[in-house]
A = this chain, B = another copy of it.
C-alpha cells in the first residue's frame, strides 16, 4: 500500500485496522485537560517491535487536540497552560535547563513558516547572562534561552543537522526544543493539533523533503520536538477518500492500491492541501507557541 503521509504518531496508530485492538510495544492513553476543552492522547512506543510497527523511533508522543486553538486570545489561555503542563511532563526539571529553541522550516513558504515565525516572539536571555551577570538572571528568574531559525537546505546548502550539531557543540545547551510545521493525514486536525515528543524530529518531513534526524544521537543533547500539522498531502487526501469508497464496494486492499496508483499523476505531487485561513493560523499559532515557551522558561515557580 502506498504509504499514507503523516507526521502524527496518533494518526499512524489510528491507521491500524479496527480489530488490531493492541499494537505490540505501543501504549495509548487518552485523557482530557481540566475543563475538558482539550483532548490529550499519549502514544508510547516502548520497544523495537512497537517502533517497527509504527515506523517511528521509541519514545513518547503527546497529541493535544482542541478547537480552542482557533478561538479568541482570552479563550486560548487555558489551552496554552495545558501545553505548558505537557511540556513539563516530558522534560524533567524544565526550568533548570539551558535551552536552544530551533525554529525549523522555510519562512518564505507560509505553511512551513511556523518555526521561524515562532522564534521572532521568543524572549531570549542567554546573552544577558554574560552582559548582566548571573545574579541579574536569578533575581529576575530568567532561564537561559537561545534560539535559531537555520532555514532549510535549499536556502542554506547545509543540512540542518550539520548546522545544529556545530552550534550545539559550541554553545552547549542542556536541551534542544525544535518547533516545526507537520503534515497530517486528516484535514480536521490541521492547525488544531499539537504533537510533543521526546524523540526528536526529521526536519522537512512536513513538506515531503525529509532530512537527517535531529535527536540525542545526532546532536548530543535531548531533543524535544513540538509540531503542528499545517498541510495534508493532496495524494493522501485523494487516496483516503477513494479507499473509503472502494472498501465499501468490497474491493480488496490490493485492488484499491492499484486504482489509487493509476489515478495519482505527477500533477498531484506538487500540490498540497491547507486550511483556507492558513496565513492567519500560522501567525496565531507561532505567537502562541512562543508564549508557551516564554512562560515555561522565564517564570520560575
Residue numbers of A with Cβ under 8 A of B are 108-110, 119-120, 124-128, 144-151, 153-159, 162-163, 165-167, 169-171, 186-188, 190, 207-208, 232, 234, 237-238, 241-242, 244-246, 249, 259, 263, 267-268, 270-280
Contacts and interface: CB of A to CB of B under 8 A. Distances in A.
Nearest to A188: B267
21 contacts: A108-B120, A109-B277, A109-B279, A119-B155, A126-B156, A127-B154, A127-B157, A146-B157, A147-B156, A148-B158, A163-B170, A165-B170, A166-B169, A166-B171, A187-B270, A190-B271, A271-B273, A271-B275, A272-B274, A272-B275, A273-B273
Nearest to A131: B153
A241 B239 CA distance: 9
Contacts of A232: 271
A194 to B, nearest CB: 18
A275 B266 CA distance: 12
Contacts of A273: 234, 271-273
A124 B154 contact: yes
* A-B interface, 10 closest residue pairs, ranked by CB to CB distance from nearest: A126-B157, A146-B157, A166-B170, A166-B166, A124-B157, A188-B267, A127-B157, A238-B241, A187-B271, A187-B267
B157 A108 contact: no
Contacts of A234: 187, 237, 273
A207 B278 CA distance: 13
Contacts of A278: 109-110
A182 to B, nearest CB: 15
Contacts of A276: 109, 207-208, 270-272
B274 A274 contact: yes
A108 B263 contact: no
Nearest to A73: B73
A155 B241 contact: no
Given A125-B157, A170-B162, A238-B238, A270 B280 contact: no
A126 to B, nearest CB: 3
Contacts of A207: 276
